[in-house]
């Protein structure tokens, strides 16, 4: 192949990479602005002439966030982690069980039920919010166990599966050879044993993707905690961050930006730590069926 035929392809690669680089830079600008603002003093933020980099760096802004009397970020972090751990565990396990049924078990009406399940993805939370609120209030009135004003409405429903996660895992389960399940059945393994001992270990990349998506969704959820939580000591980080801004009056923007960086930092770290499993799970999902 001559250099003339290579040249257009080479130029196309350069153009594609340049376009992606520009998009990444544009997407990074808001985060850079937030990070820079979190390291400035309040007068420097309000000044007419703005500098790109803070001078000097105000590292103590991050400590002042935890010392602030109007915010209890350690308590809010604990609340968020409790909901996230329970929610991620529940949605991963329950979605895997449902996905296994749709992918491996043959029963009448399976495809129709799967389509109905997928259709629920078209219903955003604001559409079902009033109905769910009424349901949890009814449960509290008839079971003697409080639901509203607790963490239960934020994590208990996740133990009944998520349509998107079920779809994602089903597509992955379909790619696993049926011969493995048949061999296990011949050896006397039960259906649950096949699911737990064969399918689940082979599905770690897809399960990692589901867990990551669930964690990010719970970590960034604002509307759910706003509807169901009532006391400041129950707030999650996102809700607490909004509460911190509204109660500050003349908002301390340097502290608010420092708090925002701290809120998104765990999600960023988790994404980069799980990046390999995330890419592998996405790449191998939906290759069949």
Question: How many CB atoms are located within 10 Å of the residue 202 CB?
Answer: 16
Query: Would you call 16 exposed, middle or buried from its count of C-beta atoms within 10 A (0-12, 13-18, 19+)?
Result: exposed
Query: Would you call 79 exposed, middle or buried from its count of C-beta atoms within 10 A (0-12, 13-18, 19+)?
Result: buried
SS3 state at 144: coil
Cβ atoms of 209 and 281 within 8 Å: the answer is: yes
What are the φ and ψ backbone dihedral angles of 220, each rounded to 5 degrees?
Answer: -95, 0
Distance CA 111, CA 121 (A): 16
Check if CATH label 2.60.40.420 holds for domain 73-283.
no
SS3 state at 70: coil
Mean pLDDT of 155-167: 93
Distance CA 146, CA 177 (A): 46
List pLDDT tens digits, range 108-143. Answer: 999 999 999 999 998 888 899 999 999 999 998 877
Confidence tier at 1 by pLDDT (50, 70, 90): very low
* Strand positions, DSSP E, the chain: none
Report residue 23 CA to chain centroid gap. 23
How much of the chain is in helix, strand and coil states, percent to nearest 5? 75, 0, 25
* Strand positions, DSSP E, 106-264: none
List pLDDT tens digits, range 75-87. Answer: 999 999 999 999 9
Look at 7 and 74; give whichever has higher pLDDT: 74
Confidence tier at 57 by pLDDT (50, 70, 90): confident
Cβ atoms of 217 and 158 within 8 Å: the answer is: no
Q: How far is CA 64 from CA 10, 152, 239, 254, 264, in A?
A: 51, 32, 19, 10, 18
> What does the CA dihedral 35, 36, 37, 43 come to, rounded to 10 degrees?
160
Cβ atoms of 281 and 55 within 8 Å: the answer is: no
Distance CA 88, CA 107 (A): 29
List pLDDT tens digits, range 239-269. Answer: 988 887 755 456 788 888 888 898 888 888 8
Distance CA 227, CA 146 (A): 15
Confidence tier at 68 by pLDDT (50, 70, 90): confident
What pLDDT, on the 0 to 100 scale, is given for residue 141? 83
Distance CA 31, CA 65 (A): 18
């Amino acid at each position: 192949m001559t250099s003339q035929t290579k040249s257009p392809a080479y130029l196309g690669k350069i153009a594609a990479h340049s376009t992606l680089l520009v998009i990444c830079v544009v997407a990074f600008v808001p985060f850079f602005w937030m990070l820079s603002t979190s390291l400035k003093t309040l007068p420097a933020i309000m000044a007419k002439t703005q500098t790109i980099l803070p001078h000097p760096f105000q590292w103590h802004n991050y400590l002042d966030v935890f010392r602030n009397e109007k915010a209890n970020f350690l308590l809010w972090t604990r609340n968020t982690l409790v909901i996230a751990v329970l929610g991620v565990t529940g949605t991963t396990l329950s979605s895997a069980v449902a996905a296994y049924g749709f992918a491996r078990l043959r029963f009448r009406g399976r495809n129709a039920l799967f389509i109905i399940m997928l259709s629920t993805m078209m219903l955003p939370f604001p559409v079902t919010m009033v109905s769910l609120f009424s349901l949890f209030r009814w449960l509290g009135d008839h079971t003697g166990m409080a639901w509203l004003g607790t963490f239960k409405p934020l994590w208990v429903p996740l133990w009944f599966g998520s349509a998107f996660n079920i779809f994602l895992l089903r597509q992955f389960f379909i790619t696993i050879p049926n011969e493995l399940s048949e061999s296990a059945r011949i050896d006397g393994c039960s259906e649950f044993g096949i699911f737990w001992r064969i399918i689940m270990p082979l599905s770690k990349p897809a399960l990692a993707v589901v867990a990551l998506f669930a964690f990010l969704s719970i970590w960034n959820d604002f509307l759910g905690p706003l509807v169901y939580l009532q006391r400041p000591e129950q707030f999650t980080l996102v809700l607490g961050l909004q509460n911190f801004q509204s109660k500050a009056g003349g908002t301390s923007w340097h502290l608010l930006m420092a708090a925002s960086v701290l809120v998104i930092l765990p999600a960023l770290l988790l994404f980069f730590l799980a990046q390999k499993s995330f890419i592998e799970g996405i790449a191998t999902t939906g290759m069949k069926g």
